[in-house]
Amino acid sequence: MVDRDARVQLDTVIRNARVLTLDPRRPRAGAIGILNGRIAVVADDGDDLSAAQVLDARGMTVLPGFHDAHCHTTWFGLSLIELDCSGFGRLDELYEAIAHAARELADGEWIKAAGLDPMRLGGRAPKLAGLTAAAPRNPVVVRHASGHFCFVNAEALRRVSLVGDSGAAVHEGIERESDGTPTGQLSEAAQSLVQALFLPESEAAIVEAIDRATRQYAAEGITSFTEAGIGGGWIGHSPRELAAYQRAHDDGRLHARAQLMVALDVLHEVDGHSADLAATGLDLGIRTGLGDDWLSIGPAKIFLDGSLLGLTAAMHESFCAGPPHNHGALTGTEGQLRTTILAAVAAGWSIAAHAIGDRATAFAADIFHEIHERYAAPRVPHRVEHGGVVSDQTLRRLHDASVVVVPQPGFIRSYGSGMRAALGEARTAQSYRARSQLDLGMTLPGSSDRPVAPGAPLRNIRAFVERIDDSGAVFGANERITMLEALEAYTIGSARATGVEGTRGMVVPGRLADLVCIDGDVLTATPQAVEHLPVAATLVGGQFTWNAL
């Protein structure tokens, strides 16, 4: 904070702005003074402030930078150079694109495609025969937009030995035809075996991906993000993924502040003095909280179940779509999952538990209640990732255990009709909840799960407010929130959810000068208009990461 009477020379002053501070003590302002990367002054006009650089905002809205509390940045950056399936409306388009890629590549080279949503293809999924005909001499992997399953051709199956001599599938993660032959669709476990053929990615490739992804983030007003799983499991890209982030930061190629979740799969017992408590973690005792304002270690990420679209989320009652009597499943026994989580918590890790089905979210609530009773509150809160279906009782239990539930409103825009078909109307009303969380006094963060769904914050802020699905129908009208609440989710809420509330989320003296400038009035514009307002500038620590002023 600066004493204005001292006439300190500031680094930057932003004037003529419509500042939404999101600070209830002073909601509005007209100018911001920045010194040494932090907000030094919040003023009505700033005419008397002296600075090396003066920026005229020309009446644009300036607010705290957006924080995506759950995204997959390396995955997104890699997908930007893969075959993009998100715009295909016919299965033939996919096969044609793969055949074209095969003609451009040498025999034996991998063809990787991302962003496939069979709902956009009239509900038709790629088949083994079609993918094989399109690329008979190249292994093909087409990743579903959810990331929880993929589609492959015969060459990919041959390389990983997922079929026997008779052509029958030999792994439980392979979807089968009635005669036992594979359809080409692989769920998480079998998908991991295919990924192992081209993982780990090189450190250089991951740095390139981080650079590409965070440049896009900057253009959308994102100043911070939480990478939802590095180092291992089917969401990690290399055991050296943290080193790649460090290198990207050192080389000036990390364009937003990053908190990194570590896949719980990579934690292991760490030796120490005989007087030390047994610890499950990373070498040197690394755990949640290590790092600085630019790059830090967040929670350990564990998967409790699968996905709604893949019908693998763990449900109390069976899905309304797909095979009869399918309740999905947990990823392990309750005893195994509980033991693994408690060992990590005892070693000082916060936990981010992927839980989508109502059985999985209820199980998570049980574990977090036990943690709440046995251990002190962590500096970085424990979390439930997604919260696809959360009953009223489970939501109250998670609130009582001080757990943050991290929903993705953008899923509704992209996949709502498919989720409704899987859940039925009663469970849809308890899906990806927002209003209920705020009414209970819970922290509501903003997040995208990109590249599973589009990640532009203004798009997802609109989704928070409207909750209109891909068919144009309202998806759980009872969970709608206001525009201001949605903005607060992507700023204050995400800061609280990631343990950095004291440095981000509001335009307040002393906090980091992480700001976004939007050409328009986000509070008076319609939700439809807000999505399309241009991001004119993004600043991280007072420095431009995006500038279209």
- Reported as a single tens digit per residue, the pLDDT across 70-98 is 999 999 999 999 999 988 989 999 999 99
Alpha-carbon distance of 243 to 233, in angstroms, equals: 17
Alpha-carbon distance of 341 to 128, in angstroms, equals: 38
Please check the confidence at residue 172 and state whether its pLDDT lies above 60: yes
Task: Dump pLDDT digits (tens) for 450-485.
Answer: 999 999 999 999 999 999 999 999 999 999 999 999
Task: Dump pLDDT digits (tens) for 363-383.
Answer: 999 999 999 999 999 999 999
| % of the chain residues with pLDDT over 70 | 97
Task: Please choose, from the candidates 326, 392, 393, 394, the residue with its C-alpha nearest in 3D space to the C-alpha of residue 355.
Answer: 394
Strands 140-144 and 150-152: antiparallel
Instruction: For 377-415, give the secondary structure using H, E and C.
Output: CCCCCCEEEECCECCHHHHHHHHHCCCEEECCCHHHHHH
Task: Dump pLDDT digits (tens) for 235-267.
Answer: 999 999 999 999 999 999 999 999 999 999 999
Strands 111-116 and 404-406: unpaired
- Two tokens, residue 296: 């830090």
Task: Dump pLDDT digits (tens) for 26-52.
Answer: 999 999 999 999 999 999 998 899 999
Task: Dump pLDDT digits (tens) for 265-300.
Answer: 999 998 888 888 777 889 999 999 999 999 999 999
Residue 171, pLDDT score: 56
User: What integer is the mean pLDDT of 312-332?
Assistant: 95
Task: Dump pLDDT digits (tens) for 198-220.
Answer: 889 999 999 999 999 999 999 99
Determine contact, residues 429/474, Cβ cutoff 8 Å. Answer: no
Q: Does the pTM of the predicted model rise above 0.75?
A: yes
Residue 434, pLDDT score: 98
Sign of CA dihedral 4, 5, 9, 15: positive
Please check the confidence at residue 2 and state whether its pLDDT lies above 80: no
Please check the confidence at residue 306 and state whether its pLDDT lies above 50: yes
Please check the confidence at residue 413 and state whether its pLDDT lies above 80: yes
Task: Please choose, from the candidates 457, 453, 406, 455, the residue with its C-alpha nearest in 3D space to the C-alpha of residue 432.
Answer: 406
| % of the chain residues with pLDDT over 90 | 82
Mean pLDDT over the full length of the chain: 93
Please check the confidence at residue 65 and state whether its pLDDT lies above 60: yes
Please check the confidence at residue 169 and state whether its pLDDT lies above 60: no
Q: Which residue has the tokens 């903005």?
A: 487
